[in-house]
Chain A
Amino acid sequence: MFRFQSLDEDCTLEEEDDGGLIEEEDEINQFNDDTFGAGAIDDDWQEEHKRLTGLQGGTGLGAGLGGGGGMGGKSDLGGAFDSSSSHLHSSAGQLPLPPSLTFSLSSSGLPPPDVEDRAGEGGLAESLARLILEADPAITGVGAAAPPPCSSGSSLCALQGLEQPMVLPQPSSIPHLNQLHQHPHHQLPPGPSSGLPPGLPPSSMLSYQQQQHLLRRGTAPMAQMNSHSIWENSMGFGPVSISLGMVTHMEDSPLMSIINEVGLPARPPQGRSDEGRDLSERVPPPRSSSPVIGSPPVRAVPIGTPPTQPMSHALNHQIHHPTAVHVRAPIQHRYPPPFPERLSPNTLLNIANSPLCRGPFPPGVGPVLSQIQRAQLLNSQMAGFPRGGPAPPLLPGGGFRPFFGGPPPPLAHRMGPPPPHCPPNHTPPIRHNTTHLHPQHRRMLTQRMQNRGVDRGRTGGDRRSRDPYSNLMSQKEKEWVTKIQMMQLQSTDPYLDDYYYQNYYEKMEKRQERERDSSKKEHTTKLITPQVAKVEHTYRPVQFAGSLGKLTVSSVNNPRKMIDAVVTSRTDDEEKREKQVWNKRRQILYTVEKMYSLLLEVQDFEKRFVQAPEEDREALLEQHKGRTLQLCNALREKEWDDRVSDEQCVMIMSVRKGKRLISRLLPFLPSPQAAAVVMAISRNLPALAKKDKQDQVLCWLVEPVAAVIQSLCSSALTDLLQELQGSEGQLASVLHNKFGVTLLYLILSEGERIQSSDANCQLMDDNRWTELVFSVTRELLSVPPSSLSPPLFTPPNLLSLFSRYVDRQRLELLQDKLQITSLSR
């Protein structure tokens, strides 16, 4: 009971919400139907489950009951519902049956113990059964949530089965329900007048297992009965057993009011089941809207199904005027035919013809309009058949509007040209479905048909009229096949698809033009290009202007491109080259990174050293330092042992970060290696300078290099200067570069310093230094001032250096050029 109270609370909320908003519920119903089909249950399945399991004491009978009840005969009791509900109200104290249970029991074939006694009860049971069977699952759901007052607890108790035994069948109802089985339309009189025992009949109680078994068996035959109309009805298989008790107390519920207003969904016309399996009913229920934005229009019937009912005029129209537009299946498909299936061919022809008599096009006609318009004009001009006013789409077997223009012959139902007895003033008929053909072709066909028609029209007609099996394939089926065949003929590029046909008729036309007089203009008709307009079928996803990103809605029909990947095709060589370049660069960077990490460790060593006072640590750190240094070296000397490889240095220096690395690294290197690095730099200075054009970071190197230079011995210095000068013209490029100039000055100044400080220095031992200086001075003098880039700084002792080697005149020149004074810096 408490459970129901909780449900009660839920229900009140529901009721409050729904109080005045009936439309929303309808909308919800509609959505439900769209999503789940007609079998959708509106209510919360969890509540349902709770209710069912609770009521049945967890026996799970509820499902069986529901199934059995729902699948019963769908008789038309829309009106009966109201009456029975009112009856239920009146018989508040009566015990409602779970008729599905009785159903199943009846199907199981239990012998009814005492039929006479329970005759009256059977009536109520049947009416209740009807009620339940016809009940909308929504009702049952809401009903489930509705609180059953304790006053009618009997009804509730009957269905709970919690503490009390299961409600068991009134066996007298069985024979009635058997009838119910067979005659689902049979309207049972509501007969609640009989007094059902207020309590549960403890007698005729079956065991739990038996009940289950019966229920299951009972549902099986049900299921097969009307499965074909499963989608037709909006009624589903809601748990039905409970509804009775609930219904009585649901008068206030909005759902009830809806049902009272609207009535239950009508029973589908019985004729449908007689038709046998209607293929179109196997189709999933129509959606109210396309599921995805931009999907192609939804077809109610799969494209491949043959027609079951006479096609509407729209379809006829399509046959005769093939379009490339998507076809939405005509709604008339789903309704019973307005006129009998097998019509006389004449009437069928008239029906087929009637849309062509009408002027305006239906809105769905697509881009082939111009052709059709032209064709229609031709028809109207040339085919002189009588026209009444705008004909109704489906001609009800009346009016004799001939297909090809001409009063129909009395006998001939052959879909051919009119027989010879048609009035002579009748113009040759035009086939409406030949719009895509060349006019010549059409004319030839017409003539051919007429000839053949004259010969054979009569006899064929006679014979076929006597054949009792004729027209097994109805007109609409023929049209359907024709439609498919015509669709296959549509072509956006006739010259591609039908080259010979096009060419042949072109030639013929030309020939005729040549033969005829040019004065006869009327015969030279313009060629109607039998071409269907190219409709862009590629789907473009919906895009909103100014929005960021794309629409998130995507489906099978319109898959969304997740990544706008653009394919750039490059030649193999290019790719290889590019790859090589990138690989090398990556390698350099990698090396640089490694060295950097080592360098950083080395640089941080001091800090760590300071922080670690213990001697052990110191020793370790020393080791570490040594190691890192070695590593640094090792990184350098890849190719030869103990020698700084030029290429490596240059490689590293080619990257900006590498240059920085070197500048930081230099102070940590042991002097010979540092010297070697500087040598390498100076040796490759032009190349480095070139690479550095963008970055201009060579100047970072000045300070460490200066430091290194200052530590150099004289011979090394000489070597360095020599390296700097290097090959012909190197010095010029060196001078061009700021760093180069600075380096040169550094070297010179160092040399000068050495000379000036130490009198008998080794610089003067060989003439190399002197020569080099000479050449430098020569170069300096010869170089145009524009190409001489200003150095970072000018060492002050340059003047004294030059004064040693050059004469006064040149010295002055140099002075001017280089703007070196004794005070310059």
Chain B
Amino acid sequence: MNYVPGTASLIDDIDKKHLVLLRDGRTLIGYLRSIDQFANLVFHQTVERIHVGKKFGDIPRGIFIVRGENVVLLGEIDMDKPSDTVLQQVSIEEILEEQRLQQQSKQETEKVKMLALKDRGLSIPKADNLDEY
């Protein structure tokens, strides 16, 4: 704010803990150390947080450099605020296992759905999440 008043600038967010959601769905939490004009971000002591249901697991990743265009949203984490959530932290292996299971079940349901639709002669095209085209 003090640098570019009246606008939003990441300068003031430097050295603060942030949570960033990327376009591929990953959630990173880390200290924002550096930015540039494209809003490329440099995170320090980054942790990738995987959420599955009510559980979450943190995978320490170290230093991350995120290209600005891949950021969906970015928010400061208020350290002072009490973090009382219903979420339960589990170990990495567990959360990865949970994630795998989740993916699996999702795929299966998707398969069943497609089969059912096919039987009825309908087809829903798969939504393309990657807006490359």
Chain A residues, CB < 8 A from B97: none
Complex-state Cα separation, A433 to B14, whole angstroms: 20
Residue B35 interfacial (CB < 8 Å): yes
Residues from 33 to 64 in B contacting A, C-beta threshold 8 Å: 33-37, 42, 44
Whether the pair A431, B37 counts as a contact (CB closer than 8 A) is no
Whether the pair B11, A469 counts as a contact (CB closer than 8 A) is no
Whether the pair B79, A463 counts as a contact (CB closer than 8 A) is yes
- What is the minimal beta-carbon distance from B100 to any residue of chain A, in angstroms? 34
Contacts A463-B79, A473-B14: A482 and B4 contacting too (C-beta < 8 A)?
Answer: yes
Proximity string of chain B (1-37) to chain A, C-beta cutoff 8 Å, 1 when within and 0 when not: 1111111010100110000000000000001011111
Whether the pair B31, A469 counts as a contact (CB closer than 8 A) is yes
Residue A280 interfacial (CB < 8 Å): no
Complex-state Cα separation, A363 to B36, whole angstroms: 29
Contacts A469-B44, A478-B14, A482-B11: A445 and B33 contacting too (C-beta < 8 A)?
Answer: no
Whether the pair B6, A441 counts as a contact (CB closer than 8 A) is yes
Complex-state Cα separation, A463 to B31, whole angstroms: 13
Whether the pair A481, B44 counts as a contact (CB closer than 8 A) is no
Residue B80 interfacial (CB < 8 Å): yes
Complex-state Cα separation, A442 to B79, whole angstroms: 29
Whether the pair A416, B7 counts as a contact (CB closer than 8 A) is no
Residues from 54 to 95 in B contacting A, C-beta threshold 8 Å: 79-80
Complex-state Cα separation, A469 to B15, whole angstroms: 8
- What is the minimal beta-carbon distance from B9 to any residue of chain A, in angstroms? 6
Whether the pair A472, B3 counts as a contact (CB closer than 8 A) is no
- What is the minimal beta-carbon distance from A109 to any residue of chain B, in angstroms? 40
Residue A459 interfacial (CB < 8 Å): yes
A contact face: mostly helix, strand, loop, or mixed: helix
| Most B Cβ at <10 Å: residue of A416, A441, A478 | A478
- What is the minimal beta-carbon distance from B42 to any residue of chain A, in angstroms? 8
Contacts A464-B15, A470-B15: A482 and B34 contacting too (C-beta < 8 A)?
Answer: no
- What is the minimal beta-carbon distance from A20 to any residue of chain B, in angstroms? 54
Chain B residues, CB < 8 A from A433: 3-5
| Most A Cβ at <10 Å: residue of B1, B5, B34, B44 | B5
Complex-state Cα separation, A481 to B37, whole angstroms: 6
- What is the minimal beta-carbon distance from A687 to any residue of chain B, in angstroms? 69
Whether the pair B35, A481 counts as a contact (CB closer than 8 A) is yes
Residues from 407 to 423 in A contacting B, C-beta threshold 8 Å: 415-416
Whether the pair B36, A481 counts as a contact (CB closer than 8 A) is yes
Chain A residues, CB < 8 A from B80: 459
Complex-state Cα separation, A431 to B3, whole angstroms: 9
The number of inter-chain residue pairs (CB within 8 angstroms) is: 64
Chain A residues, CB < 8 A from B9: 482, 485
Contacts A463-B79, A472-B33, A485-B9: A431 and B2 contacting too (C-beta < 8 A)?
Answer: yes
Residue A18 interfacial (CB < 8 Å): no
Q: Place the interface of chain A in its size category.
A: 20 to 34
Whether the pair B4, A473 counts as a contact (CB closer than 8 A) is no
- What is the minimal beta-carbon distance from B67 to any residue of chain A, in angstroms? 16
Nearest-neighbor residue (CB-CB) of A459 within chain B = B80
Chain B residues, CB < 8 A from A484: 37
Complex-state Cα separation, A434 to B7, whole angstroms: 11
Whether the pair A473, B33 counts as a contact (CB closer than 8 A) is yes
- What is the minimal beta-carbon distance from B130 to any residue of chain A, in angstroms? 28
Contacts A471-B15, A478-B14: A431 and B5 contacting too (C-beta < 8 A)?
Answer: yes
Complex-state Cα separation, A482 to B4, whole angstroms: 7
Number of B residues near A (Cβ < 8 Å) is 21
- What is the minimal beta-carbon distance from B32 to any residue of chain A, in angstroms? 9
Complex-state Cα separation, A442 to B2, whole angstroms: 11
Residue A220 interfacial (CB < 8 Å): no
Chain B residues, CB < 8 A from A473: 14, 33-35
Whether the pair B15, A482 counts as a contact (CB closer than 8 A) is no
Chain A residues, CB < 8 A from B31: 467, 469
Contacts A473-B33, A473-B34: A482 and B79 contacting too (C-beta < 8 A)?
Answer: no
Complex-state Cα separation, A442 to B6, whole angstroms: 8
Contacts A445-B1, A469-B44: A485 and B37 contacting too (C-beta < 8 A)?
Answer: yes
Chain A residues, CB < 8 A from B4: 433, 482, 485-486, 489
Complex-state Cα separation, A403 to B5, whole angstroms: 15
Residue A378 interfacial (CB < 8 Å): no
Nearest-neighbor residue (CB-CB) of A472 within chain B = B33
Whether the pair A481, B2 counts as a contact (CB closer than 8 A) is no
Whether the pair A445, B36 counts as a contact (CB closer than 8 A) is no
Complex-state Cα separation, A479 to B79, whole angstroms: 27
Complex-state Cα separation, A485 to B20, whole angstroms: 22
Residue A306 interfacial (CB < 8 Å): yes
Complex-state Cα separation, A292 to B6, whole angstroms: 41
Residue A437 interfacial (CB < 8 Å): yes
- What is the minimal beta-carbon distance from B61 to any residue of chain A, in angstroms? 16
Complex-state Cα separation, A414 to B30, whole angstroms: 20
Contacts A469-B44, A472-B33, A481-B35: A416 and B14 contacting too (C-beta < 8 A)?
Answer: no
Complex-state Cα separation, A376 to B115, whole angstroms: 73
Chain A residues, CB < 8 A from B7: 485, 489
- What is the minimal beta-carbon distance from A456 to any residue of chain B, in angstroms? 9
Chain B residues, CB < 8 A from A437: 5-6
Nearest-neighbor residue (CB-CB) of A403 within chain B = B2
Chain A residues, CB < 8 A from B34: 472-473, 477
- What is the minimal beta-carbon distance from A719 to any residue of chain B, in angstroms? 84
- What is the minimal beta-carbon distance from A413 to any residue of chain B, in angstroms? 11
Proximity string of chain A (378-419) to chain B, C-beta cutoff 8 Å, 1 when within and 0 when not: 000000000000000000000000011000000000011000
- What is the minimal beta-carbon distance from B82 to any residue of chain A, in angstroms? 15
Whether the pair A478, B3 counts as a contact (CB closer than 8 A) is yes
Nearest-neighbor residue (CB-CB) of A464 within chain B = B15
Chain B residues, CB < 8 A from A467: 15, 31
- What is the minimal beta-carbon distance from A146 to any residue of chain B, in angstroms? 54
- What is the minimal beta-carbon distance from A91 to any residue of chain B, in angstroms? 58
Select which of B3, B42, B44 is within 8 A of A482 by beta carbon: B3
Residue A449 interfacial (CB < 8 Å): yes
- What is the minimal beta-carbon distance from B29 to any residue of chain A, in angstroms? 15
- What is the minimal beta-carbon distance from B8 to any residue of chain A, in angstroms? 10
Chain A residues, CB < 8 A from B1: 445, 449
Chain B residues, CB < 8 A from A434: 5-6
Q: Which residues of B contact A (CB under 8 A)?
A: 1-7, 9, 11, 14-15, 31, 33-37, 42, 44, 79-80
Knowing that A437-B5, A472-B34 touch, tell me 20 more A-B residue pairs with CB under 8 angstroms: A306-B36, A404-B2, A416-B2, A431-B5, A433-B4, A434-B5, A434-B6, A449-B2, A467-B15, A470-B15, A471-B15, A472-B15, A472-B44, A473-B14, A473-B33, A481-B37, A482-B4, A484-B37, A485-B7, A489-B7
Identify 29 residue pairs between A and B in the complex whose beta-carbon atoms are under 8 Å apart, listed by A's number.
A403-B2, A404-B2, A416-B2, A431-B5, A434-B5, A437-B6, A441-B6, A442-B5, A445-B5, A445-B6, A449-B1, A449-B2, A459-B80, A467-B31, A469-B15, A469-B31, A469-B33, A472-B15, A472-B34, A472-B42, A473-B33, A473-B34, A478-B11, A481-B11, A482-B11, A485-B7, A485-B37, A489-B4, A489-B7
Please provide the 4 A-B residue pairs with the shortest distance between their CB atoms, ordered closest to farther. Answer: A482-B3, A473-B34, A484-B37, A472-B33
